[in-house]
């Protein structure tokens, strides 16, 4: 019989599993706390569980962490792990220390099928969804290793902020994502605040509604363009629903979100989406004047300088262009931050996460065939 990986279930799932073994709920809670709060893998060492239960667990279950291929530490303290997920696939997880908190950037898929032009994960294509256990194992590994490395005391935690901004489109792996989020949020698990767990999506409208109903956490939407013609090219799934429907979904999400704003991410691509005129269009859009049927969305803007990689054929906007763009937004009263690039000396910055992906979707071939969009200086991917 295949043993159940206990990282694959949230607390309700573990309660059901333990119920099947004739154990009460509080036993499942104890077990859950050993795994996630103490980082214990060996049932033998879970000393307050009855010996008979521990012996049973060894036969039917395991706690299966990910195998680390490499760990890199950046000059600014950013840590990047490369994990083996089998069959030639590897995923990346990044820890970003800040003065007042530690953020973990977590992957949801090996590769990504959305195929955004400016994203190195997108260029690699898609291999497979990660399991709940593989998503949770990234946090499990980072939290428990960092506690030792940073010399934290009992009860102190290394990570208090999780962003689903690593490799993959989390809402295309919804079934595995939700139990993973629940484990992150559970007081017996990692006890993270809903406001400090962020799902970042390229904008899957129906799934945004589902997340709102099932497990509302903070939401970031990767917008990258103020109009459909450009967004269709940069973020191919925009062709399905379009920006107006996306804005409507954002408004519905806010009804149940733990924060009263959506974070829009906007990756600055030189000569593509970074003109002051496009900034004004973006202001009109989010303020509900830009597009028929696109309502005003309470939001913050996160402007991300593009992190180049060779195959993209795109360039980072010059710094003055980024500041000028942000200024237009700020002057219109929109809270705007220019994201600091962290960990780029170890290729850990946004969009540089490439891992190792056995592409099953031929996305690379498709991308090479379509031209890079550029309203001001048309050119083609070499």
Q: Provide the token pair at 46.
A: 């879970």
Question: Nearest 5°: phi and psi at 190?
Answer: -95, -10
Q: Considering only residues 93-152, where is the footprint of ligand SAH by CB under 6 A?
A: 118-120
Task: Count the residues of the shown chain that bind ligand SF4, applying the rule CB under 6 A.
Answer: 11
Q: Report yes or no: 359 and 126 within 8 Å, Cβ to Cβ.
A: yes
Q: Which of 200, 233, 248, 278 binds ligand SAH (CB under 6 A)?
A: 200
Positions marked active-site:
92, 350
Using CB under 6 A as the binding rule, whether residue 179 contacts ligand SF4 is answered as: no
Q: What is the DSSP letter of 350?
A: T
How crowded is residue 213: how many other Cβ atoms within 10 Å of its Cβ? 10
Q: Quick one: what does residue 265 bind among ligand SF4, ligand SAH, none, with the CB cut-off 5 to 8 Å set by partner type?
A: ligand SAH
Shortest CA distance to 338 belongs to which of 272, 259, 260, 265? 265
CA distance 173 to 132: 9
In the complex, least distance from residue 266 CB atom to ligand SAH, rounded to whole angstroms: 8
Q: Which of 31, 53, 57, 165 binds ligand SAH (CB under 6 A)?
A: 165
Q: What Rg value do the Cα atoms of the chain yield, rounded?
A: 21
CA distance 145 to 354: 23
Q: Which of 13, 65, 125, 168 binds ligand SF4 (CB under 6 A)?
A: 168
Block residue for tokens 């149940």:
256
In the complex, least distance from residue 49 CB atom to ligand SAH, rounded to whole angstroms: 38
Helix (H, G, I), strand (E, B) or coil at 4: strand
HSE value, Cβ hemisphere, 13 Å, CA-based, for 312: 23
Residue with nearest beta carbon to ligand SF4: 122
Using CB under 6 A as the binding rule, whether residue 236 contacts ligand SAH is answered as: no
Considering only the stretches 53-61, 78-86, 107-115, 186-194, report the one whose residues sit in contact with ligand SF4 under the rule CB under 6 A: 107-115
DSSP 89-138: -EEEEEEEE-SS-EEEE---EEE-SS--TT-HHHHH-EEEEPPHHHHHHH
- Our CB check for ligand SAH shows the closer of 201 and 336 to be 201
Using CB under 6 A as the binding rule, whether residue 121 contacts ligand SF4 is answered as: yes
Using CB under 6 A as the binding rule, whether residue 207 contacts ligand SAH is answered as: no
In the complex, least distance from residue 202 CB atom to ligand SAH, rounded to whole angstroms: 4
Using CB under 6 A as the binding rule, whether residue 270 contacts ligand SF4 is answered as: no
- Our CB check for ligand SF4 shows the closer of 104 and 116 to be 116
Q: What share of the chain is helix, strand, coil (3-state, %, to 5)?
A: 40, 20, 40
Using CB under 6 A as the binding rule, whether residue 169 contacts ligand SF4 is answered as: yes
Using CB under 6 A as the binding rule, whether residue 223 contacts ligand SAH is answered as: no
Residues making contact with ligand SF4 (CB under 6 A)? 112, 114-116, 119, 121-122, 168-169, 202, 222
Residues making contact with ligand SAH (CB under 6 A)? 118-120, 165, 169, 200-202, 222, 265, 267, 304, 306-307, 350-351
């Amino acid at each position: 019989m295949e043993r159940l990986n206990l990282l694959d279930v949230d607390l309700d799932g573990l309660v059901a599993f333990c119920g099947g073994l004739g154990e009460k709920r509080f036993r499942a809670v104890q077990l859950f706390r050993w795994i996630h709060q103490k980082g214990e893998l060996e049932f033998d060492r879970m000393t307050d569980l009855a010996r008979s239960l521990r012996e049973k667990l060894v036969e039917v279950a395991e706690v299966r962490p990910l195998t680390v291929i490499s760990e890199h530490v950046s000059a600014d303290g950013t840590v990047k792990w490369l994990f083996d997920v089998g069959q030639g696939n590897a995923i990346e997880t990044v820890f970003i220390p800040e003065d007042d908190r530690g953020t973990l950037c977590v992957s949801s898929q090996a590769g990504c099928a959305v195929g955004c032009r400016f994203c190195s994960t997108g260029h690699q294509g898609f291999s497979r969804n990660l399991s709940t256990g593989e998503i949770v194992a990234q946090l499990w590994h980072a939290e428990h290793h960092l506690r030792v490395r940073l010399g934290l005391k009992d009860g102190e935690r290394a990570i208090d902020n999780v962003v689903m901004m690593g490799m993959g489109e989390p809402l295309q792996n919804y079934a595995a994502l939700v139990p993973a989020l629940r484990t992150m949020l559970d007081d017996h698990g990692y006890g993270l605040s809903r406001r400090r767990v962020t799902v970042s999506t390229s904008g899957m409208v129906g799934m945004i509604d589902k997340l709102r109903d099932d497990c509302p956490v903070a939401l970031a939407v990767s917008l990258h363009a103020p109009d459909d013609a450009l967004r269709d090219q940069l973020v191919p799934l925009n062709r399905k629903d379009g920006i107006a429907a996306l804005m409507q979904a954002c408004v519905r999400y806010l009804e149940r979100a733990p924060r009263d704003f959506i974070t829009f991410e906007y990756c600055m691509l030189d000569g593509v989406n970074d003109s002051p005129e496009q900034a004004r269009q973006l202001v009109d859009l989010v303020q509900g004047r830009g597009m028929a049927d696109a309502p005003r969305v309470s939001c913050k803007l996160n402007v991300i300088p593009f992190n180049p990689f060779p195959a993209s054929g795109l360039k980072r906007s010059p710094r003055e262009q980024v500041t000028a763009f942000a200024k237009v937004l700020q002057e219109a009263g929109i809270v705007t931050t220019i994201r600091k690039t962290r960990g780029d000396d170890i290729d850990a910055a946004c969009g540089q996460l490439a891992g190792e992906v056995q592409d099953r979707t031929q996305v690379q071939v498709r991308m090479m065939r379509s031209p890079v969009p550029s309203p001001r200086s048309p050119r083609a991917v070499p």
